[in-house]
Amino acid sequence: MHKRIQRRALALLVIPALMVQLALIPSPAWAGESPKEVAQVTGEAGQISLEQALGIVKSQFTIPAEFVKFTSGFNVYNDHQAWVLSWNSPDQGKGGNFNAQVDALSGAILNMNLWKNPGKSGPSLQLPLMQEDEAKAKAIELITKLAKDKMPELEFVPSSQAVMPLTSYGSVNYTFRWQRMLNGVAFPNNGITVQINASNGEPASYNLNWLKVNAPDPKGVISPERAEQIFKSQSYLELRYFMPAPIRPLAAGQKQGVRLVYEPNGPFASGIIDALTGESLKPGESSGYYGYDKGGMGGMPAGSVNQKAPELSPEEQAEIEKTGKMISKDAAVAAVKRWVEVPENLVLSNVNLGTDWASADARVWSLNWNSPKPDGKNPQYMYARVNAATGELMSFNLSYPYGPDNGEKKGLDRKAAQAVAEDFLKQIQPQRFAEVKFVEEPYFPGKYGYNGNAEGFSYYRLVNRIPFYGNGLNVTVDTATGKVIGYNLNWANLDFPSPEGILNTQAAVGKFLTARPLTLVYVLRETPIGPGKLSDPGKVSELRLVYQPLPQNDVMFSNTLDARSGEFLDYMGRPVAQIPKAYLFKDVQGNFAEKEIRMLGQAGIFGEYGDVFHPQEAVTTRSLLKALYTAKNGMMYGNVQPSDDEILQSAKNEGWLTEDISATAMVNRETFTRIMLRFLKLEPIAKLQGIYQVPYTDMDSSFYGYAALAQGIGILSVPGQTFNRVQAVTRAEAAFALIKALSFQS
């Protein structure tokens, strides 16, 4: 079934996790043992002692003096044996840690990470003291010290302009990535990533991901044009129904919306084409730059089909039962037992009536059976869900003992188990079984040495002959007993849009490849590894040359293309193009507020004109209030741009605006001063009479406090004896004032 990639908030200037495969750092293993002792497990003795590893790290980094609690461990992963070194602060109030890994064979520092607890309960102003180019120079300096021999094979990857917030709970970092180049071709899985603290210029993290590889010669690869022809000739994109994850719980009577989208097809989910043979690679045949989860950022999040139903109070349950619209608890139990034999050793321990996650109007009985005397042999628990209105069994899961770990399958083979599963579905869901299609999964239990006596089968829903992977049927069969031990019905009452008027497949593929052109890269040749086995340290990894659709630079990407608008969508159905971005203004050099303007641009503020700022233009009410709101609350990924009325109403709710003023009106000095002092919650002080003296002769005493505070804080300094309250405030003056206000507020 679908697995979806969910997105994280862009609170730091970081490269999205989906875009970079960093070196995996397993949890410390065999803590305190020497390489010689570890060699009994790995088969290879380390050359670097713990003492030497400590010396290597301390010669390159300064460990904070307060991090006095030291521990060590030893890891074996990929082709590395590595010492794991960790320094921590014993002070629970302050906290913090410094971690590093040192290759036990070569002595190379593989990674480091420094975190200090800011010691504040809330977010604080984080003003970067260095520009991005200065931070990049620091990153290059670090790489030169730690991995100079790798530099000839490194190529810098320009990052997307991710937002750097003005306020944060912790430090704010610049992130820089270099990818490895082999024979003039990128190997994105390998490279170096460095984070530099924007406030002090210190390294916040360093990660070296570097494998011993055998890279095939790129001579003889097919041309990019030929790769594109192959991509277009195959069914790489598939028309599907897509149900975005809800942003908030649905109201009564509200249905979750469904959209038509194009996404990479299952057998071609990676979109990878072998550059030497022109063959399409299926999932599992290579380890590409990105994962193969269907739908990219789009689609239902993994695990959503079995979300726990929100609980109702006893009073609410009683009221619902009184109406007679819902079946009773006993009827729900009977509905389960009609299809499932509840083991005698299990006792009904918990019953709950709640709402269904997909519909606020639907009610679901959740029932749990448990064993009062677990013995490790008989089933330990059973869980079931029943539609409280219809009595329909929605799901159940019965625990079962696993087979012996001897590599032998017990009982039914997969084909016979599938027959059992489908016979069960034809009985319990005869009509819906005719509206589903079997999921030909690339991986399934038992394919690569899995020893449990269970086989799982998934079927997705078809609507208008179009797949809807968000709905379907799942069955698990115990191959030892031949019984069904798991079942799930995920079938929402939804309104499905007609496919009329959508983009055709050719147009969709064109938009997809425009955003993510086919790029020649090296990827790891995937070789399945059995349970509990480790790759051999020091091994040579095999690479293959492929064409893969990749986004340009390190930008947020999605596999979900709206079939009507042609926009890429995230998993909540929002256009990816609305992701907040930083602005590098090109018209502010030499301006008195250049530093402040650039800070706001990095935070995604004042971007009405893209990468130009218009510093001498008068600031509008809407622009000023939006900047204040964003500075206070941060940029929320995927937010729809608020309307003028919404901006004004929000400012009134916050108490920033009490005047009746148009959103497009130019803000004069008087209104600007009042808004800024309200933003700082200083208006009551500004209204005090008889305590302020100002040099201005063109105002009455009621405004003295406003003018005096504005000048004292640095929000608006007007020289001379004339304040000129009706003069418009420029965008540069507004930017300067906003940073001054935030600095005062912090």
Return mean pLDDT, the chain.
81
Residue 630 CB partners (closer than 8 Å, separation 6+): 603, 604, 605
Tell me if 172 is assigned to some domain: yes
Is residue 390 over pLDDT 50? yes
Is residue 493 over pLDDT 70? yes
The reply to whether 461 and 610 lie within a common domain is no
Phi first, then psi: give them for residue 591, nearest 5 degrees: -70, 150
Domain final position from 165, 182, 211:
211
**Ranked by mean pLDDT, which of 40-49, 154-163, 396-405 comes out on top?**
154-163
DSSP string, 331-375: HHHHHHHHH----TT-EEEEEEEEEETTEEEEEEEEEEEE-SS--
578-587 average pLDDT score:
84
- How much of the chain is in helix, strand and coil states, percent to nearest 5? 25, 25, 50
pLDDT at 326: 82
pLDDT at 160: 63
**Cα→Cα distances 553→19, 162, 534, Å:** 9, 12, 33
Tell me if 282 is assigned to some domain: no
SS (H, E, C) 25-86: CCCCECCCCCHHHHHHHHCCCCCCCHHHHHHHHHHHCCCCCCCCEEEEEEEEECCEEEEEEE
Write out pLDDT tens, residues 158-180: 876 667 777 655 678 889 999 99
| Rounded CA separation 296/294 (Å) | 6
Q: What is the DSSP code (8-state) at residue 18?
A: G
Give the confidence band of 352 by pLDDT, cuts at 50, 70, 90. Answer: confident
112-129 average pLDDT score:
72
pLDDT at 121: 56
pLDDT at 324: 57
pLDDT at 378: 81
pLDDT at 294: 33
Tell me if 217 is assigned to some domain: no
Tell me if 659 is assigned to some domain: yes
Is residue 433 over pLDDT 50? yes
Q: What is the DSSP code (8-state) at residue 409?
A: -
Please name which of 411, 409, 412, 495 lies closest in space to residue 448, comparing C-alpha atoms: 409
pLDDT at 655: 93
692-702 average pLDDT score:
92
Determine contact, residues 706/673, Cβ cutoff 8 Å: yes
Is residue 474 over pLDDT 70? yes
Tell me if 568 is assigned to some domain: no
Give the confidence band of 462 by pLDDT, cuts at 50, 70, 90. Answer: very high
Tell me if 469 is assigned to some domain: yes
Q: Which sign does the torsion angle of CA 574, 290, 107, 48 carry?
A: positive
Give the number of domains in the chain. Answer: 3
The reply to whether 190 and 45 lie within a common domain is yes
Phi first, then psi: give them for residue 434, nearest 5 degrees: -75, -10
State the residue for tokens 């304040």: 723
Domain final position from 176, 211, 246:
211
Is residue 303 over pLDDT 50? no
Give the confidence band of 248 by pLDDT, cuts at 50, 70, 90. Answer: low
251: which 2 tokens?
A: 């109201």
Write out pLDDT tens, residues 703-733: 999 999 999 999 998 999 999 999 999 999 9
Tell me if 383 is assigned to some domain: yes
Range of lowest pLDDT (37-51, 125-139, 169-183): 37-51
Range of lowest pLDDT (7-21, 361-375, 671-685): 7-21
Tell me if 281 is assigned to some domain: no
Higher-pLDDT residue of 1, 722: 722
pLDDT at 120: 62
Range of the domain at 740: 594-745
Is residue 3 over pLDDT 50? no
To the nearest 10 degrees (0 to 180), the angle between helices 621-633 and 731-745 is: 30
Is residue 599 over pLDDT 50? yes
The reply to whether 204 and 331 lie within a common domain is no
Range of lowest pLDDT (330-334, 550-554, 671-675, 720-724): 550-554
Write out pLDDT tens, residues 607-651: 899 889 999 999 999 999 999 988 877 665 444 556 778 888 889
* Helix or strand holding residue 476 (H, E): strand 466-478
